[in-house]
Amino acid sequence: MLTLYNYFRSSTSYRVRIGLNYKGLDYEQKPVNLVRGEQWAEDYRDMNPQGAVPVLVFEDGYVLTQSLAIMDYLEETHPAPSFYPDGAKQRGFARQIALIVSCDIHPVNNLRILKYLTEELGISEEQKLTWYRKWIYDNMSSIEIMLNKSPYHTKGEYCCGAAPSIADMCLVPQVYNARRYDCDMSRFPLIEAVEKKCLAHPAFAKADPHGQPDTPDELRKAASA
């Protein structure tokens, strides 16, 4: 059985849960509470020196970190169903969206960055939110325009074509995260339509942050209400 070290509302963990579900792979979860700082525990850092989730541990003890490296490994070892659409241009487009999320949004809004801004550089909570929302709005605006212009996207469908791809698996968790910081996602109707389509897919539904083993009860109730 695969073991996924993750945190219910971490967007990079959410990506990998979607990916594992989509490939139909069984895994057990070991929660790492990021707010309590469990990612910095010595035994955890033996496994991931970066002190971050997700980490996937394979049956033979192989340990892999970095959500996109994990997704690539899953793709190579379990090619069907694929995380990538047919066609080099379509695959390029799907990667383009996935990389905006994973390289241009997530790193600057990660927990350790926000903590550094407030605790070390002394910015206020309000300024922190302004920072967070700037990178969401700038990059989500770009994604919205790209979806609108792309011949590979149809409104109300997945980002690229008729099946979920790496683009959706990165985008949907980031939208969830943006809502936690009260970003107004109604500014991005095409992205919201992608999200709606994806959330109806069982692989995404099973990965919902509000339905994981470490989801706090108050959020779990809100999800099932």
Ligand X SMILES: N[C@@H](CCC(=O)N[C@@H](CS)C(=O)NCC(=O)O)C(=O)O
Q: Which positions lie near ligand X, rule CB under 6 A?
A: 10-12, 34, 39, 52-54, 66-68, 102, 110-112
Sequence-separated (6 or more) residues with CB below 8 Å from residue 196: 156
**Which residue's CB is nearer to ligand X, number 117 or number 193?**
117
Nearer CB in complex with ligand X: 52/178: 52
Q: Measured from the CB atom, is 169 or 203 closer to ligand X? A: 169
CA separation, residue 209 to residues 65, 97, 190, 213, 215 (Å) = 20, 22, 22, 9, 7
CB atoms within 10 A of CB 104: 14
In whole angstroms, how close is the CB of 119 to ligand X at the nearest point? 12
Core vs surface per residue 185-206: b (16+ CB within 10 A) or e: beebebbebbbebbeebebbee
> In the complex, what is the shortest distance from the CB of residue 52 to ligand X, in angstroms, rounded to a whole number?
3
- Closer Cβ to ligand X, 11 or 139, answer by number: 11
- CB nearer to ligand X: give 19 or 54: 54
Token pair listed for 213: 């083993």
Nearest-approach distance from CB 214 to ligand X, in angstroms: 13
Least separation in angstroms between CB 97 and ligand X: 15
User: Which residues does 131 contact at the CB level (< 8 Å), separation at least 6?
Assistant: 108, 109, 114, 117, 123
- In the complex, what is the shortest distance from the CB of residue 143 to ligand X, in angstroms, rounded to a whole number? 18
Intra-chain end-to-end CA distance of the chain, in Å: 32
The first and second tokens of residue 205, run together, are 């539904």
Nearest distance in Å: CB 39, ligand X: 5
DSSP 135-165: HHHHHHHHHHHHHHH-TT--TTS-SSSSS--
Closer of 72 and 192 to ligand X (Cβ): 72
